A and B are shown apart, each in its own frame.
Chain A
């Protein structure tokens, strides 16, 4: 890791207990924090020059019954990147907004609300961002079945003959 990343990590470790740091690459590290310590970690990193919020997204860990929220912070001084990750409960998916630190987070949070059903306290703009007239559970949750939904809503072409079988005969995979 670069020296400025080490300095930032020292500050994080001094201020907050229970942080787990995983070094991924020379300029990339993952910081796993408790959900109540996430905003302090983000604001420390922002003060250390990691002020560009590249991405805010979520991962659905259905077996563990939790969502992992991921904030990626980038530094334009030395190209360092921090991945700040925190776990929240899947049943009661709520977190606090970071709109006061990064106004662009409004749209990331709208997207997460639309595709995972996560609510963000402090962000009142929770209109759908991409989908129109959505009528099922949020589509990027792991318990959503896209194939079943597609079969229900968008009928497929019905072929008269078994075209795949014929193509295999033509290609020589099976003897006709």
Chain B
């Protein structure tokens, strides 16, 4: 079955999925500063059925908010792989698109969709809460139409993603002095 084909149960499930999104509260960069105004009373994200979630194992939506260093990317990949299917990724800001002002840095990656599949990008540095809300609406529409299938692409092209991850990171496993 190709990535875009769905049976009737999946179509029904996608209607329900798009109305209860739990986003992972893992703030990887400066874009996360736009999330509190999106959540609180003026823009009130919760009217869409969205809310923050603390752990990857209960989350549907993964936000990559801004620049990603190689050190963080290891944790991001590990977190992404812990999330249950179906899972969706939104890349915030120009850093995830093309590196932004960190395009020549020795420690930050230049484009996110080489390492994990991205369903939707929000351009800008930084996107305003209006753009964030617009992106969430678009993502919900994409889920209902069955277009947000990055999690399927990740399974189908796992070798390609793994190859890119290994080229930039050396190894994906995490070794640090505080956890060993």
A102 CB, nearest partner CB in chain B, Å: 21
Q: A-B contact count, CB below 8 Å?
A: 49
1/0 per residue, CB under 8 A from A, across B90-111: the answer is 0000000111000111111111
Whether B105 contacts A146 by the Cβ 8 Å rule is yes
Q: Given A154-B99, A157-B97, A157-B111, A133–B170 Cβ distance below 8 Å?
A: yes
Whether B167 contacts A153 by the Cβ 8 Å rule is yes
Contact residues in A for B111 (Cβ distance below 8 Å): 154-157
With a 10 A CB-CB cut-off, give which of B71, B99, B107 has the most chain A CB atoms: B107
A47 CB, nearest partner CB in chain B, Å: 34
Whether A133 contacts B168 by the Cβ 8 Å rule is no
> Interface size on B (CB < 8 Å)?
24
1/0 per residue, CB under 8 A from A, across B141-180: the answer is 0000000000000000000000000011111000111000
Whether B110 contacts A154 by the Cβ 8 Å rule is yes
Is A22 an interface residue, CB under 8 A from the partner? no
Contacting residue for A150 out of B104, B170, B175, CB 8 A: B104
Contacting residue for B106 out of A132, A133, A144, A156, CB 8 A: A144
B-to-A contact residues, CB < 8 Å: 70-71, 74, 97-99, 103-111, 114, 167-171, 175-177
Q: Which 7 A-B pairs have the closest CB atoms?
A: A133-B170, A147-B104, A146-B106, A154-B110, A157-B111, A139-B106, A157-B98
